[in-house]
Amino acid sequence: MMVPAALLLLGALTAVVAPRMLARADWPDREPVVALWAWQCVVAAVLLCCALSMTLSAAAAWQAVRGHVFAPAPSAVVEAYALGVGGPWAATTAVTLACGGLWTVAMLVREVARARGRRRRRRAELLVRAPLLPGETTGNDGLMILEGERSDAWWLPGAAPRLVITTAALRRLKGRQLDAVLAHEQGHAQARHDWLLHSSGALAGGFPQVPVFAAFRDEMHRLVELAADDMASRRFGRLTTALALVELNEDRGVFGPSPTDRAQVPQRVHRLLAPPDRLTAGRRLRLTAAAALVPVVPVLVAFVPGLRALG
């Protein structure tokens, strides 16, 4: 039972240390895409620790599971894991982690179902506010102009994704500012940021007492916006993208002293107007590779006794 316990300890250590390291680093705001990848690898490592610990604990508790897990392995490998000394704690650990896994799946299904419900309601509201003319079909042009007094633009994902923009936004956005807004929303769609938000929201909602999942959700919401800002600014310039953000959000009070639900907009504008230096390609590659190695560590820990026995 040493390996399952070591995996749980490794998962807890990763969940505590990795978010603090990412919070103290100065490069996530400079390279949001790399930071998104790093956060996904950290959370994947934590979940992998739990899954591997559950599997080995179940193998220690029940002979039937052990026969399936170690079916092709020689007896020396099975003996190296000392599965017979787990006692009642093995079954308790396996059942607890299995319940956590089922709860995670249920939360993800609930999050996806809620998102689909919101999209259906929003599409129905759009049809009420902008009904189709006789003989008109929904089409696949992906753009809908909506009559509205508030400047707004958003991407509506789904089987027939659409970019919705209000007439007030069209009046305020000038020239390439509108193109920058379109590029920003298209960046969300191309990178499938909605799935990142669903996954992080499901974990944070299912395990509200686990800080790493709450930090994962908050950082996903922040980093996807920075990544989409960078996509737009690379095509149409940082000044144009910043001005577009100001025009869309000026009437929402986000630049005032009172905090709002879009309190990060001023920080995004400042980042666009005073951009930090990007990392070199070599350092981006090293950070990406280092993050990819984080989920590999639990696998190595789980296989070390077997590899030693074979060696």
- DSSP-assigned letters across all residues of 32-56: HHHHHHHHHHHHHHHHHHHHHHHHH
The chain-wide mean pLDDT, for the chain, equals 86
Under the banding of pLDDT at 50, 70 and 90, the label for residue 69 is confident
| Averaged pLDDT for residues 116-144 | 71
Under the banding of pLDDT at 50, 70 and 90, the label for residue 288 is very high
- Token pair for 251: 């009437």
pLDDT of residue 258: 58
What's the full length of the chain, in residues? 311
**DSSP 8-state code for residue 160:** S
Torsion of CA 191, 102, 50, 63, to 10 degrees: -140
pTM here? 0.87
Tens digit of each residue's pLDDT (9 = 90 or more) over 213-254: 999 999 999 999 999 999 999 999 999 999 999 888 887 767
**Residue 302 pLDDT > 60, yes or no?**
yes
Tens digit of each residue's pLDDT (9 = 90 or more) over 155-204: 877 666 778 888 888 888 888 898 898 899 888 888 888 889 999 999 99
Under the banding of pLDDT at 50, 70 and 90, the label for residue 124 is confident
**CA gyration radius for the chain?**
24
Encode 1-33: b = buried (16+ Cβ within 10 Å), e = exposed. bebbebbbebbeebbeebbeebeeeebbbbbbb
Structural contact between residues 90 and 60, judged by C-beta atoms closer than 8 angstroms: yes
Cβ neighbors of 98 (< 8 A, separation 6 or more) are 54, 58
What are the φ/ψ torsions at residue 115 (nearest 5 degrees)?
A: -65, -45
- Token pair for 88: 């009642």
What are the φ/ψ torsions at residue 26 (nearest 5 degrees)?
A: -100, 0
pLDDT of residue 159: 66
Cross-strand bridge partners of residue 145:
165
Q: Where are the alpha helices (DSSP H) in the chain?
A: 2-24, 32-61, 63-69, 75-80, 88-129, 167-172, 176-190, 193-206, 211-236, 238-249, 265-273, 281-293, 296-310
